[in-house]
Amino acid sequence: MPKSTLAGHPLHPMLIVAPAALIPFGFILDAMARSTDNDDYANAGYYSLAGGLIGGLAAGIAGAMDYMAIESETEVKRTANVHAMLNGGALALTAANVAMRRNEYRHGGTGTTLAMGAIAALGVLVSGWFGGKMVYEQGMRVKGVSPVEDVPDMKMLPADERVEHAMHSVERHMPSAGPTMQ
């Protein structure tokens, strides 16, 4: 199976931003709703979780494509297994949380949904640590050191190479100077 790529770069890290932010934020909003009895927080928490779920499914598909390219019986596959199980669990809890609240006029949760949100948020945060380990310690999808370097990329757009070229063109026209730490 090819790796997920968009305009020459790994797709999975581009897509994780939404669920990595929205699922923990949904829990924070739910906790605020519970402590203030303000339905606006509960509604915002519900929609944050729903957005995190949708974003998580998209990120999961891209991540699964990369996962399938990892050779079995390797350290990076072991780390990827933990990363995938934590994310799968967090998404399952988030899906159950959203489903339990979807028919309520004010999407307020219960103690059960608050606990589910807390566990899902923790799962996403811990999973991010394992995802970071794959990248920063094991070189997953890092050019020149990636364990899946030789697996072909799946082109996401019909003009994928042109988009990549345009992105590099924009970068070439940016100044290279900036603030420095002294």
Q: Would you say residue 179 lies in a domain?
A: no
pLDDT of residue 170: 72
pLDDT of residue 171: 65
Are residues 27 and 121 in contact, defined by beta-carbon separation less than 8 angstroms? yes
Question: Residues in the chain with pLDDT < 70?
Answer: 105, 155-156, 171, 174-182
Three-class DSSP category at 158: coil
Three-class DSSP category at 153: strand
Long-range CB pairs of 141-145, under 8 A, 24+ apart, other chains included: 141/3, 141/10, 141/12, 141/13, 141/66
Q: What is the pTM of this model?
A: 0.83
- The CA–CA distances, whole Å, from 180 to 173, 175, 176 equal 20, 14, 12
pLDDT of residue 172: 74
pLDDT of residue 10: 92
Q: Would you say residue 151 lies in a domain?
A: yes
Q: Would you say residue 90 lies in a domain?
A: yes
Are residues 134 and 76 in contact, defined by beta-carbon separation less than 8 angstroms? yes
Q: How many other C-beta atoms are found inside a 10 Å radius of the C-beta of residue 72?
A: 6
Count up the domains in the chain and report the number: 1
Q: Which structural domain, as residue segments, surrounds residue 48?
A: 3-172
Helix ranges (H only) for 70-179 are 75-101, 111-132, 160-172
Token pair 């990329």 is found at: 153
User: Cα separation of 134 and 161, whole Å?
Assistant: 27
pLDDT of residue 49: 97
